[in-house]
Structure 1
């Protein structure tokens, strides 16, 4: 018999959830770009701007490597290594004026984030199941968004001193490391590993009998489509405001920032929302994004535009659903790998979105920001339709399993 984990431990939950705080905060220092461009006159503007995107490269590479590293040194040490690299890479620009060292530091920040990125969801799947797992996945996505907003706010305050100081925002990694070490102890990890070994011993034929997790794979592909379609909320809606000639266009940044927070609040209630909509939850997410986009392109003023942005952000419900679907459908031995794939597809979809939107517009022979939003709505409609089909298939499987279980009990 292995020891049990106190799943109701507040310290354990805080420790596991805390690691999501700075996961998407690499761009928090984007306000330093104009000041750095003035200082590094021997570098092109594009090279200075690339400091914001370099972490994405490191993140994708090390997301793919993370499952291999976890097998070598364990999940706890991998997360700690990622957090420590994030801290080092994050604050290094504070201490140097060497542009190339800053580039390397930004890559290290992304590499660190990539190492623990998958574990933000998989640790929840290792410990909690059912409704509690879904609740925590919702909180995890919300904390990720709140953390990004917090980092942007703090960096904005620090930039008032100089651009070097803005990078001290990544000192937030220190309390995160402390919370994780105290909450997710080595004893907790050993207990989980023993439980997983015991579970595996009762499933010796799993490799022979387990089929490919087709539903999870399709869900991951649809998240790729979703990210292609949702990025225009950031990249194209400012141009829509201009095309519509709305007054008070300066409200856009505030609208976008608050919309992110609204999305985080909605996602925090994911567990309760899932209990109502079940596997139709991603369909609800796609509908919210489509309705929000309709509001954006037909906005008569900035108030309606801002409300529409809030509705679009509610579609962030898709994040915890995808990770939950992977953990539900994929064998435990493959969970980390498939979560890594999901993270890569999400980042990849966001990265190529401007190119996909432009290519689709070119194929259709249309131009303009409003048409780009309409294309994004088409993508969302397609993804929603696929999620409807997946929900029907899941429900049929669940009903069949229920009938089979009843037949076995009668026998």
Structure 2
């Protein structure tokens, strides 16, 4: 439970997105895009840490990385509770992102390094559920806290200190250390690096869509007259909470669909985003969001499972960092993707219709990748 708890705050940067309408009102002297960036800013700085993953692993051990990261996440994450100047809030979000970056790759790769076979598949599924449970719980809590005032939303990051205590008391050091020569010198070969980059592309676009849903659902609900900010928070909580089921269902789905799971997930995500685009009632929007939340988690777990299957153990942490770079690029660029789509049409339905079309394209790309891998295997 303590190992899985490390994943529970990895995507919590967007948990405060329900406070966005109130933040837009507070920072009314700033452009809306600049205020939205406060939500996605951590992704840029997670990215910086992930790009420096290899040297950081030489300088710091797992224990030092995780303890430092959790302290930065908690203390910097809670700063807007006490100060509400725009640039101080931006600085706190920057440091918060650096903290997530310190633990991001470790929280995922340590499972693949410590577990094997069916147990690893099950633990990766549970890890996805843990990520979703944490994010959904924090998002739901934000929905209650913003009724007091928007800065209270950032109090949720105090839970990082609880996770730190769990890690210090209950997570043993790695039982089987990797050979030092391998961890310090061996590098990904060009084919393995290309495969990691492909998986980063699949994961990154999935995260971009997920981030855009988190950014736009509150505005769709409030501006479309479908409900209040609190009801938008409830929709987002359900959107994330359904990922618990996907984490538990991952192992059976993998057994049934195997290598086709990635392509089928993108097709299901296309249907879900199209449903969001066409929703005219809160119930329909919630149902479409539920579908998207389920598929988002299955898709991400499928990517990390495929990564663990194809990468040698000594190189897994480095390959995981590459995929996470793609994930965080997807999250960081989401406001700009939305802005770019805005030039094609202002209604939110246009953006999510375009996401649906793109998901069909990624499904076809996944099928082509499967066929190419089979062809290579046959010589």
What CA distance in whole angstroms lies between the structure 1 residues aligned with 2:208 and 2:37?
A: 21
2:361 corresponds, among 382, 385, 388, to: 382
Please tell me whether residue 329 in structure 1 is matched to residue 310 in structure 2.
yes
Give yes or no for the alignment of 1:184 onto 2:171: yes
Aligned mates of 2:212, 2:82 — CA distance in 1: 36
Which residue number in structure 1 is paired with residue 141 of structure 2?
A: 154
Q: 2:75 aligns with which of 76, 83, 88?
A: 88
Structure 1 residue 108 displacement after superposition:
1.5
| Secondary structure at the counterpart of residue 212 of structure 1 | helix
Partner of 1:406: none
Which residue in 1 is equivalent to 2:253?
273
1:114 deviation in Å? 0.9
2:234 to 220, 240, 254: 254
User: Partner residue of 1:6?
Assistant: none
Question: Equivalent residue for 1:341?
Answer: 322
Structure 1 length normalisation: TM-score? 0.76
> Where does residue 99 of structure 2 map in the other structure?
112
Give distance in 2, aligned partners of 1:229 and 1:214: 23
Whether 2:151 is the aligned partner of 1:171: answer no
Shift of 1:390: 2.4
CA–CA distance in structure 2, aligned partners of residues 53 and 232 of structure 1? 10
What aligned pairs does 1:297-308 form with structure 2 within 5 A after superposition?
Answer: 297-299=277-279, 301-308=281-288
Higher mean displacement: 390-399 or 287-296 = 390-399
CA contact (8 A) 1:240 1:370 kept: no
| Whole-angstrom CA distance in 1 between matches of 2:146 and 2:221 | 28
- Which of 109, 120, 123 in structure 2 is aligned with 1:133? 120
Evaluate the alpha carbon distance shift between residue 261 and residue 164 of structure 1 in structure 2; reply closer, same or farther with a 3 A threshold.
closer
Inter-partner Cα distance in structure 2 for 1:20 and 1:117 = 8
Residues in 2 aligned to 1:16 and 1:349: alpha-carbon distance in whole angstroms: 26
1:264 matched residue in structure 2: 244
Among residues 391, 395, 398, which one is paired with 2:370 in the alignment? 391
Aligned to 1:9: none
CA contact (8 A) 2:36 2:335 kept: no
Larger radius of gyration: 1
Q: Residue deviations 1:296-320, cap 9 Å, x none? A: 4455754444323222222211111
Instruction: Give the number of equivalent residue pairs.
Output: 374
Distance 1:293 1:39 in 2: 30
Check the 8 A contact 2:43/2:329 in 1, yes or no.
Answer: no
Please give the alpha-carbon distance, in whole angstroms, between the structure 2 residues aligned to 1:38 and 1:357.
20
Q: Distance in 1 between matches of 2:191 and 2:26?
A: 57
Change (3 A) 1:123 1:256: same
Equivalent of 1:79, from 63, 66, 71?
66
RMSD: 3.7
Q: State how far apart, in whole Å, the 1-side matches of 2:226 and 2:22 are.
A: 27
**Residues of 2 paired with 1:20 and 1:177: CA distance?**
12
Distance 1:287 1:92 in 2: 40
Residue 62 of structure 1 corresponds to which residue in structure 2? 49
Q: 1:318 aligns with which of 279, 294, 299?
A: 299
CA pair 138-101 structure 1, distance change in 2 beyond 3 A: same
Q: Can you give the 5+ residue segments of structure 2 that lack an aligned partner in the other structure?
A: none
Q: Is the 8 A contact 2:136 2:236 kept in 1?
A: no
Question: SS where residue 118 of structure 1 aligns?
Answer: helix
Change (3 A) 1:381 1:99: closer
How much has 1:260 moved relative to structure 2? 2.0
Task: Give the unaligned 5+ runs of structure 1.
Answer: 1-13, 401-411
Relative to the length of structure 2, the TM-score reads: 0.82
